[in-house]
């Protein structure tokens, strides 16, 4: 089946929803999402959204904190722009129905997280993402101009490649005309032709074994753009959240928000000793790269599988009032956080790199924009400052929507794109192999491309990945397309980009730490 739209939005997290709401005034929107509409990283966000509200905070301080966390790789113009436009977009979220906690005097109740010099995180208890997702989904469902297609998996972008241009010359400007989308329920592949495409497919956490991200986060958008020959950058900067609840049976790992450390919780070794003072003067509130590496080091020293987070110095009233979700979850697993220490481990959490976009959110491919976690805007550099992600997503969705609205009138649908052709392919014989290969990939990434890297580990990861890639491509070319094989293929592409870019960076900076180059080098 083939359908036409003005705007194709891929992804239903904060970035996709905000962009769709903003462009709906200017044309027909088709929003596809590979699972349920609220199956997103956004839905899991706990801590909140960073923005400057009251003195003594200032934009200058937020900018400085972001630059410091980014360890020399942030784009200063972008940082200034996002911080400056953040407040207006937070107001927009409120206008669209999002609630943030306030104090009895009516002011926002502002939390603090690692790397922030002031309390500046607006939040809704410890379920901010859930609240944002709820409000935006409600709003979007009331928009007649937006068609929502759940359980629709975008497989590949439509570009000149699909028009039979077997060889695209190096200088050809690649253009995007929409996407091939697999209907997970019927297994049919739709050709969605669109004037403008917005990729908002989120992060990559699931290419690692231990992650805070739900299953949808497999880097599909990055893989699609990479295959379409778009520019991808900074993939080596994978952020591990320091404190996920240690529970071998649970995927995704349940997050224990950094805001709880902002409230005074302490990290302790397996045998109950404070250790963060050895690593940074800011102790528990150092930036995430430092805290995650410190925990990793302490686990290696003691041989333990976790460290502890001690919240017992925080009153029961505060824990239950500010962190009800965490309190309840821990209690369900037998931990009373008012009395017991919480066992925690670092877990893959966020990708700082991704599809390179300019200050308008434009990718290197014509008529293709990207926003949210999938995009590399230059805001985060080598390490994202906590709670800057939701902020970046809304600011860029707004900017991209404005420019898209200006351009849409001049773009035509490309009717030369053929429908998907799967002649000569058969049903996959052993789907179990795909599942096993996906698990193998997660092991490769967790074992060799984690918080601490080395040349040997990266080399080993690449040689294991090459075998997986060969086998998967062979299967992909001869079998009918299925959601699982597409997901595996995307995850392999993303893993390749991470390993390749990590191997190229001959220094340690921000989230990328290589024991063979422990020092910071010249910027590359």
Task: Give the residue numbers marked as catalytic.
Answer: 288
In whole angstroms, how close is the CB of 520 to ligand FAD at the nearest point?
26
Binding to ligand SIN in span 334-373, by CB under 6 A: 350
Residue nearest to ligand SIN (CB): 47
How far apart are the C-alpha atoms of 234 and 237, rounded to whole Å?
Answer: 6
**How far apart, in whole angstroms, are the C-alpha atoms of residue 82 and residue 396?**
8
39 sits near ligand FAD (criterion: CB under 6 A): yes
Structure tokens that stand for 286 in this block: 């150092």
Closest CB to ligand FAD among residues 3, 460: 3
CB atoms inside a 10 Å sphere around CB 115: 26
Its sign, for the CA torsion 425, 201, 261, 329, is negative
- Binding-site partner at residue 5 among ligand SIN, ligand FAD, none, CB < 5 to 8 Å by type: none
Residues numbered 373-432 forming contacts with ligand SIN, rule: CB under 6 A: 386-387, 389
- Of residues 200 and 417, the one with the C-beta less far from ligand SIN: 200
Q: Which residues of 242-259 are buried (b: 16+ CB within 10 A; e: fewer)?
A: bbbbbeeeebbbbbbbbb
Using rule CB under 6 A, residue 257 touches ligand SIN? yes
Nearest to 250 by CA among 295, 289, 203, 215: 215
Closest to ligand SIN by CB, 63 or 344:
344
The three-state secondary structure class of 244 is strand
The 91-120 site mask, x for binding ligand FAD (CB under 6 A), equals ------------------------------
Per CB under 6 A, contacts with ligand FAD among 164-203 are 200-203
User: In this structure, are residues 131 and 47 in contact, taking their beta carbons and an 8 Å threshold?
Assistant: no
Q: Given the complex with ligand FAD, which of 11 and 343 has the nearer CB atom?
A: 11
46 touching ligand SIN, by CB under 6 A? yes
* Interface with ligand SIN, residue 258, by CB under 6 A: yes
Which does residue 258 bind out of ligand SIN, ligand FAD, none, counting CB within 5 to 8 angstroms by kind?
ligand SIN
Q: Does 16 bind ligand FAD (CB under 6 A)?
A: yes
Asked if 180 contacts 155 with a C-beta cutoff of 8 angstroms, the reply is: yes
Lookup: tokens for 491: 């995850």
Residues ≥6 apart with Cβ < 8 Å to 455:
503, 514, 516
- Binding-site size for ligand FAD (CB under 6 A) equals 44
CB 45 within 8 A of CB 132: yes
Q: Does residue 40 touch ligand FAD according to CB under 6 A?
A: yes
Token pair recorded at residue 198: 């917005």
- Residues 117, 48: Cα–Cα separation, whole Å: 16
Residue bearing tokens 């705007």: 7
Asked if residue 259 binds ligand SIN (CB under 6 A), the reply is: yes
Provide the β-strand partners of residue 509.
512
372 binds ligand FAD (CB under 6 A): yes
How many residues interact with ligand SIN (rule CB under 6 A)?
Answer: 9
Interface residue with ligand FAD, options 98, 243, 383, 389 (CB under 6 A) = 389
Residue 475 CB neighbours (<10 A):
18
How far from the centroid of its chain's Cα atoms is residue 40's Cα? Answer: 10
Interface residue list for ligand FAD (CB under 6 A): 10-16, 32-35, 39-42, 44-49, 128-129, 153-154, 200-203, 212-213, 216-217, 220, 255, 350, 372-374, 387-390, 393
Interface residue list for ligand SIN (CB under 6 A): 46-47, 257-259, 350, 386-387, 389
């Amino acid at each position: 089946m083939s359908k036409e739209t003005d705007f194709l939005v891929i992804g239903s997290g904060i970035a996709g929803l905000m962009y769709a709401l903003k462009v709906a005034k200017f044309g027909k929107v088709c929003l596809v999402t590979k699972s349920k509409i609220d199956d997103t990283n956004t839905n899991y966000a706990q801590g909140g959204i960073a923005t400057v509200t009251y003195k003594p905070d200032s934009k200058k301080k937020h900018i400085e904190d972001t630059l410091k966390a980014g360890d020399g790789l942030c784009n200063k113009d972008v940082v200034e722009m996002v911080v400056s436009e953040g407040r207006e977009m937070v107001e927009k979220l409120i206008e669209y129905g999002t609630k943030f906690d306030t104090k009895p005097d009516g002011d926002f109740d502002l939390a603090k997280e690692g790397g922030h010099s002031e309390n500046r995180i607006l939040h809704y208890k410890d379920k901010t993402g859930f609240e944002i997702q709820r409000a935006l989904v409600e709003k979007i469902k009331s928009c007649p101009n937006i068609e929502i297609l759940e359980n629709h998996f975008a497989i590949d972008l439509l570009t000149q490649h699909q028009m039979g241009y077997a060889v695209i010359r190096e200088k050809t400007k690649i253009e995007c005309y929409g996407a091939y989308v697999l209907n997970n329920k019927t297994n049919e592949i739709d050709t969605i032709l669109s004037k403008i495409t917005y990729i908002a497919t989120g992060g990559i956490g699931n290419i690692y074994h231990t992650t805070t991200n739900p299953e949808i986060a497999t880097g599909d958008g990055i893989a699609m753009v990479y295959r379409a020959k778009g520019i991808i950058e900074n993939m080596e900067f994978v952020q591990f959240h320091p404190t996920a609840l240690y529970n071998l049976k649970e995927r995704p790992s349940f997050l224990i928000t950094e805001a709880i450390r902002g409230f005074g919780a302490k990290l302790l070794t397996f045998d109950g000793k404070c250790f963060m003072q050895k690593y940074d003067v800011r102790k528990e509130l150092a930036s995430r790269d430092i805290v995650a590496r410190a925990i990793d080091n302490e686990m290696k020293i003691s041989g333990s599988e976790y460290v502890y987070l001690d919240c017992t110095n925080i009153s029961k009233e505060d824990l239950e009032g500010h962190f009800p979700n965490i309190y309840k979850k821990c209690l369900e697993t037998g931990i009373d956080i008012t009395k017991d220490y919480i066992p925690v481990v670092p877990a893959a959490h966020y990708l700082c790199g991704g599809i390179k976009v300019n200050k308008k959110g434009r990718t290197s491919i014509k008529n293709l924009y990207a926003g949210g976690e999938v995009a590399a805007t230059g805001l985060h550099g080598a390490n994202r400052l906590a709670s800057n992600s939701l902020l970046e997503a809304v600011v860029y969705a707004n900017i991209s929507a404005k420019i898209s609205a200006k351009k849409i009138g001049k773009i035509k649908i490309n009717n030369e794109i053929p429908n998907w052709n799967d002649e000569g392919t058969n049903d996959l014989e052993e789907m179990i192999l795909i599942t096993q290969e996906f698990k193998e990939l997660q092991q490769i990434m967790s074992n060799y491309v984690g918080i601490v890297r080395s040349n040997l580990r990266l080399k080993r990861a690449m040689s294991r990945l090459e075998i997986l890639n060969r086998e998967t491509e062979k299967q992909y070319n001869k079998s009918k397309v299925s959601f699982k094989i597409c997901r595996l293929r995307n995850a392999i592409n993303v893993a390749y980009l991470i390993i390749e870019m990590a191997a190229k960076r001959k220094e340690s900076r921000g989230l990328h730490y290589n024991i063979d180059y422990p020092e910071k080098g010249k910027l590359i």
